[in-house]
Amino acid sequence: MSRRVELTTSRRGVLGMALAGAAAAGLGTAPAQAALVRSSARIVIIGAGAAGTAFANRLVQRLDGAQITLVDARAEHLYQPGLSLVAAGLKPPGYVVSRTTDWLPRGVTLVAEQAAAIDPEAKTVTTSGGQRLEYDFLIVAPGLVLDHDAIEGFSLDLVGKDGLGALYAGPEYAARTWQAASQFTETGGVGIFSRPETEMKCAGAPLKHTFLIDDIASRNGAAGKYEAHYVCPQSVLFSVPIVSEKVRMLFGERGIATHYGHTLKGIEPGRKLARFETSAPGADGEAVKSTVEMPYDYLHVIPPQRAPQVIRESGLSWADKWTDQGWLQCDMQTLRHLRYPEIFALGDIAGIPKGKTAASVKWQVPVVEDHLVAAIQGREGTAIYGGYTSCPMITRVGRAMLVEFDYDNNLVPSFPGLIAPLEELWISWLMKEVALKATYNAMLRGKA
Amino acid sequence: MQDMTLGTLIAVFEEMFGRWLFWGLVAVALVVTAAYLYVLIRDRAMSMHKFLWAQIAMPFGAVAAVAFVLRITRSGLRDIGGPIDVITLLGVAAMGAVGIAVLVYTAQSLARPLVRRPKT
Ligand SMILES: Cc1cc2nc3c(=O)[nH]c(=O)nc-3n(C[C@H](O)[C@H](O)[C@H](O)COP(=O)(O)OP(=O)(O)OC[C@H]3O[C@@H](n4cnc5c(N)ncnc54)[C@H](O)[C@@H]3O)c2cc1C
């Protein structure tokens, strides 16, 4: 089987669905399990989120004798794609939460502390508790941090009150976001849905929240008495042009107003005012900045997102790209650090043009695994990550669009000819509602 | 294991329903199927009378299966958006219909075995 074909069929795995059963039946037998590779390498993984956990599980299935250490202080594992459902009242906060240790295989050591410093020259990681871990290979997978402080006047205590929502902040905040949003869907008024100017995880999530709250409002007390405004710093709704156009059309049909070139800078919660910095080309072509205030009854805040401090301080970030954000400098096809070949990025931390989704992690993990095992064996790896990114775009309760694309902004549908991309379908909703978490969990266990 | 395999699919279903519920459902399906085959072999004939009842149950099974799936997925018929949705829904209905027919037939056969009247 050629690599291309392999990749096409495995996309089904990302969405893994009853329907795929028929397709899978044809694919039949499991591939022979690759033989265990003997190694005494010391492998340190920073972060036990989607990427770190999936990778650890894969490694124990591939390597025999390696010393694998995961570093992460967080006791709770969060299934973050579920936050969008919690913030629309469709799932309870507990839907998102499990224990980090539930997913870890035997044979890896968990150091329940944060990585506080990385020295890529000495090849050591120092933890918040002062432990010094030496490594032969380092997998950097600490996700990203939400910079709520960048929005003046905003604080997480305010979420759920006075019409403020912030679903990215975690399950409790997502539930409180629903408190504020559900009130809006009953009483109406002006709803403002924002997104940050930085790179962000799941760039579809701000759109999903807009669609969902608009849908629920249109069926509830607020029907006919509300306005929905989507406000973004960019000049498009989505980085992939064909997706952006589709969303533009849907927003048009649904009467959702769009404001481009607006960056949320601050709020006045007492007066329910949001302050945006706008940027529009002036007469001489130079961008002209100004400030506008918009009153709201419901405001959804997604803050700027950046690499964790420890990464930005370790000298591993890009020096000439995303300098305010600090993503890890790596090759976009192999995720290998450009200056330290024993270091790989996985997940949201990677400084690559696409890929900040859990679905991307599923595609990245086997690639890094291939290059790492090859390095242990003293050869070159061959697997390539093409930028696969996916985000089931919910357009209302009961319907979604499958949006899957790569570095080249090409659509790469998992079920070509069967499930149309960019079409609002019930089956795509089923995938997000029912199958996505199951597939995610299977990925964590290294099985998908 | 990059490919979609039976193993992957089973892993996904285990996660979806929980390991016990998934294998429990598989076991129930297997038991009912085995019982169905058993009564067919035992009786060496289909009872048209029992089959009639099974057929009458089919539409109810179909509707119940669709209602169940829509309910657990918080959706409604208005969400059916394209051909694949219709096909999926028909598939669910067909499974519900066949499932209940087999169940009704088997239950009747187990409760009241076919009595062969001596030919007069
Ligand atoms: C609202 C929302 C909706 C989303 N929807 C989707 C979707 O529909 N589909 C999809 O595919 N993806 C979606 N995603 C994105 C997906 O959740 C992330 O891309 C994915 O979790 C990234 O995995 P990760 O391992 O890189 O980061 P994470 O899963 O965030 O894990 C990072 C881990 O690193 C740990 N860590 C951080 N700093 C340190 C440190 N210094 N030392 C040690 N450990 C550290 C953290 O405690 C955490 O456990 C969504 C995300 C959000 C927020």
- For residue A358 and ligand 1, the question of a CB distance below 6 A is answered with yes
Pocket test for ligand 1, best of A91, A348, A368, A441 (most atoms within 8 A of CB): A348
Which of B12, B78, B89 is the closest to A448 by Cβ?
A: B12
pLDDT value of position B118: 64
* Number of domains chain B is built from: 1
Contacts of A422 (CB under 8 A, 6+ apart): A242, A243, A246, A401, A402, A403, A411
In the structure encoding, which two tokens stand for residue A133, read together? Answer: 């871990």
Full domain range(s) for residue B13: 6-111
Going A311 to A315 to A317 to A322, the CA torsion angle's sign is positive
Inform me whether the C-beta atom of residue A430 falls under 8 Å from chain B C-beta atoms: yes
The rounded distance, in Å, linking the Cα atoms of A154 and A158 is: 7
pLDDT value of position A143: 98
Task: Check whether B119 has a pLDDT greater than 70.
Answer: no
pLDDT value of position B4: 57
B1 lies in a domain? Answer: no
Q: Are A263 and A277 a contacting pair, CB within 8 Å? A: yes
Inform me whether the C-beta atom of residue B48 falls under 8 Å from chain A C-beta atoms: no
A61-64: long-range pairs with CB below 8 Å, 24+? A61/A33, A61/A446, A62/A34, A62/A36, A62/A37, A62/A369, A62/A373, A63/A36, A63/A37, A63/A38, A63/A39, A63/A373, A63/A376, A64/A36, A64/A37, A64/A38, A64/A39
Inform me whether the C-beta atom of residue B9 falls under 8 Å from chain A C-beta atoms: yes
Which of A24, A399, A433 is the closest to B4 by Cβ?
A: A24
Q: Are A101 and A70 a contacting pair, CB within 8 Å? A: no
Beta bridge partners of A276: A264, A292
> CB atoms < 10 A from the CB of B2, how many?
22
ipTM, 2 decimals? Answer: 0.80
Does the beta-carbon distance from B4 to A13 stay under 8 Å? yes
Q: pLDDT: is B120 or B47 the higher one?
A: B47
Going A427 to A428 to A430 to A431, the CA torsion angle's sign is positive
Q: Quickly state the pLDDT bin for B117 (edges 50, 70, 90).
A: low
Q: Name the residue at shortest CA distance from atom 39 of ligand 1.
A: A142
B102 lies in a domain? Answer: yes
B54 lies in a domain? Answer: yes
Rg (CA), chain A: 22
In the structure encoding, which two tokens stand for residue A427, read together? Answer: 């089956």
B117 lies in a domain? Answer: no
Residue type, B64: A
B120 lies in a domain? Answer: no
B2 contacts in chain A (CB < 8 Å): 6-7, 10, 13, 366
pTM of this structure: 0.90
B116 lies in a domain? Answer: no
- For residue A167 and ligand 1, the question of a CB distance below 6 A is answered with yes
Burial status of residue A47 (CB atoms within 10 A of its CB: 0-12, 13-18, 19 or more)? buried
The rounded distance, in Å, linking the Cα atoms of A55 and A76 is: 18
In the structure encoding, which two tokens stand for residue A15, read together? Answer: 């969405």
Inform me whether the C-beta atom of residue B11 falls under 8 Å from chain A C-beta atoms: yes
Which of A24, A425, A434 is the closest to B82 by Cβ?
A: A425
Tell me which H or E stretch contains A343: strand A343-345
Q: Helix (H, G, I), strand (E, B), or coil: what is residue A247?
A: helix
Going A184 to A186 to A190 to A193, the CA torsion angle's sign is positive
- For residue A141 and ligand 1, the question of a CB distance below 6 A is answered with yes
Structural domains in chain A plus CATH codes: 31-144+307-387 (3.50.50.60), 148-303 (3.50.50.100)
Give me the tens of pLDDT residue by residue for chain A, a chain 448 residues long. Answer: 333 333 333 333 333 333 333 333 333 333 445 679 999 999 999 999 999 999 999 999 999 999 999 999 999 999 999 999 999 999 999 999 999 999 999 999 999 999 999 999 999 999 999 999 999 999 999 999 999 999 999 999 999 999 999 999 999 999 999 999 999 999 999 999 999 999 999 999 999 999 999 999 999 999 999 999 999 999 999 999 999 999 999 999 999 999 999 999 999 999 999 999 998 888 888 888 999 999 999 999 999 999 999 999 999 999 999 999 999 999 999 999 999 999 999 999 999 999 999 999 999 999 999 999 999 999 999 999 999 999 899 999 999 999 999 999 999 998 888 899 999 999 999 888 888 998 899 999 998 7
Residue type, A8: T
Give the residue among A359, A349, A288 at the shortest CA–CA distance from A142. A349
Q: Are A206 and A128 a contacting pair, CB within 8 Å? A: no
